[in-house]
Amino acid sequence: MRTLRTIADVREHVAGARRAGRSVGLVPTMGAFHAGHEALIRAAREACDEVVVSLFVNPTQFNEAADLDGYPRTEASDAAIAAELGADVLFAPPVAEIYPDGFATTIRVAGLSAVLEGVARGPEHFDGVCTVVCKLFNIVAPDVAFFGQKDAQQVVVIRRMVRDLDLPVRLHIVPTVREPDGLALSSRNARLNAAERERATALCQGLDAAQAIIAAGEPDPAPAEAAGRAAMRAAGVEPEYFALVDPDTLERVERIDGRVLVVVAARVGPARLIDNVLTDTRQVATRV
């Protein structure tokens, strides 16, 4: 695996792969790899000939300076993991390579960026995500890009950006990887002490409670939301939001019929955690 730092080097490498007729997969990350990232890299390795993993702690998507400053930076071990999993390139550019002096362009997916996480973190969070992801798509020009269902709103926002801007890339969404007790893996879990780590399962417990009510055929979203919130409070965690939304528009559903995305966010100790489950009343429900 080669570690590349410049846009020019990545373009040259990818052009060589393309000339050889190889398909290209991109896995955008901010590093501090855990089994969730590993699942994305494995999926890319299986689906594509050439696998590019990007590692860039994108400053423009952080709404809290302390969150950015405290973000784990473990490039050496990340590089070892990516190489072990068969990635061909680790693209780890310095900030000035992505945001040169005078950088002035922002991509905003209006509406979708302003709800849920956009309320808590400001719509600028997804502006930062979309702008850097669009740049990565332009730099790497992948056939397929791999994202985790864990960040469900990010998937919805990027899907819309790809559609609206006719970006020639296919999105491959990887199911959420969880700890044995159901907690979704996240680099922010490392900030939890033992008691907080235990309470953090409240999010998936809330999702399970809501899912049980959806699976029982209740058409009104309110009982599922109430059950989810109650399960979380019983586990000692106050949800910031807990909602049943449309998986494409992120609007709260008025009736449960077909695909529903159940989304939750909560602070547990020093960490703000998110989780979600996609259900489909026309199919067997699955927690991914």
State the catalytic residues. Answer: 37
Task: Find the binding residues for ligand AMP in span 170-189 (CB under 6 A).
Answer: 174, 176-177, 184-187
Q: Is 40 in the site for ligand AMP (CB under 6 A)?
A: yes
Beta bridge partners of 208: none
Q: Is 145 in the site for ligand AMP (CB under 6 A)?
A: no
Q: Are 288 and 176 in contact (CB under 8 A)?
A: yes
The least CB distance from residue 254 to ligand AMP, in Å, is: 28
CA dist 61 and 236 (Å) reads 29
Token duo for residue 77? 């071990």
The least CB distance from residue 49 to ligand AMP, in Å, is: 21
The least CB distance from residue 203 to ligand AMP, in Å, is: 12
Q: Is 148 in the site for ligand AMP (CB under 6 A)?
A: yes
CA dist 113 and 126 (Å) reads 6
Q: Is 29 in the site for ligand AMP (CB under 6 A)?
A: yes
Specify the stretch interacting with ligand AMP by CB under 6 A; choose among 30-38, 106-114, 189-197, 277-285: 30-38
The least CB distance from residue 228 to ligand AMP, in Å, is: 19
Among 13, 17, 26, 37, the residue binding ligand AMP under the rule CB under 6 A is 37
Which SS3 state, helix, strand or coil, does residue 219 take? Answer: coil
Question: Residues in contact with ligand AMP, total (CB under 6 A)?
Answer: 17
As a dihedral over the C-alpha atoms of residue 48, residue 54, residue 58, residue 61, rounded to 10 degrees, the angle is 10
What backbone torsions phi and psi does residue 90 show, to the nearest 5 degrees? -110, 115
Q: From residue 25, give the alpha-carbon distance in Å to each of 41, 77, 119.
A: 9, 21, 32
User: Residue numbers of the site for ligand AMP (CB under 6 A)?
Assistant: 29-30, 36-37, 39-40, 147-148, 150-151, 174, 176-177, 184-187
